[in-house]
């Protein structure tokens, strides 16, 4: 099983906290936190700082860019790996100019390789298909691409939790 659990939900749904809790139970102090968010402005810097304060000090952090292969190398020997979030990884790849197939193929390679890892992987992502249709073509492309990425991650996951109002509900 390439992914132990996938936590999916809307903004502020509690998905990151739920993913952190499971990663902590699985890995204790030996958790690799894979951060995919870049601090592009002061508001994002505050969000990232809040996430850091919530995590145990002993957890290792790896800031992942477009290539997820370094995650697999750093994961070796860890108690668990938490990737937060697939959403920001997809949007970052889009901003780098990567095409949809390139992004999905890269994700598929990561999921396959994670499948042979001894460490359990926990992935956090946003549900973007339950809202209104985005107004712009770029917004619709992002929604559709993240939806495809979420489906692939969910298929690879042993457990999938939909987070609503801070409550993770197991749906797989």
Q: Which of 39, 48, 51, 72 is catalytic?
A: 51
Is 156 annotated in a binding site? The answer is no
Is 16 annotated in a binding site? The answer is yes
Answer yes or no: 104 catalytic: no
Is 61 annotated in a binding site? The answer is no
Residue 117 burial (C-beta neighbours within 10 Å; 0-12, 13-18, 19+): middle
Is 9 annotated in a binding site? The answer is yes
Is 15 annotated in a binding site? The answer is yes
Q: To 5 degrees, how large is the angle CA 62–CA 66–CA 71?
A: 35
Is 13 annotated in a binding site? The answer is yes
* Residue 4 vs residues 39, 81, 149: alpha-carbon distances, Å: 28, 10, 16
Is 14 annotated in a binding site? The answer is yes
Q: To 5 degrees, how large is the angle CA 45–CA 50–CA 56?
A: 125
Report the DSSP beta bridge partners of residue 61: 33
CA atoms within 13 A on the CB side of 93: 24
Binding-site positions for GTP read 9-16, 35-37, 52-55, 63, 84
Catalytic residues: 51
């Amino acid at each position: 099983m390439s992914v132990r659990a996938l936590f999916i939900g809307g903004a502020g749904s509690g998905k990151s906290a739920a993913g952190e809790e499971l990663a902590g139970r699985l890995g204790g102090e030996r958790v690799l936190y894979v951060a995919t968010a870049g601090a592009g402005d002061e508001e994002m810097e505050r969000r990232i700082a809040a996430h850091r304060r919530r995590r145990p000090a002993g957890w290792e952090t790896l800031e992942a860019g477009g290539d997820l292969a370094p995650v697999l190398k750093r994961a070796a020997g860890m108690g668990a790996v938490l990737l937060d979030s697939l959403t920001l990884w997809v949007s970052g790849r889009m901003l780098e100019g990567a095409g949809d197939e390139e992004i999905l193929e890269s994700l598929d390679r990561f999921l396959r390789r994670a499948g042979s890892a001894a460490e359990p992987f926990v992935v956090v992502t946003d549900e973007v298909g339950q809202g209104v249709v985005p107004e712009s073509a770029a917004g619709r492309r992002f929604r559709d691409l993240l939806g495809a990425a979420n489906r692939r991650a969910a298929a690879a996951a042993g457990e999938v939790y939909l987070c609503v109002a801070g409550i993770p509900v197991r749906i797989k």
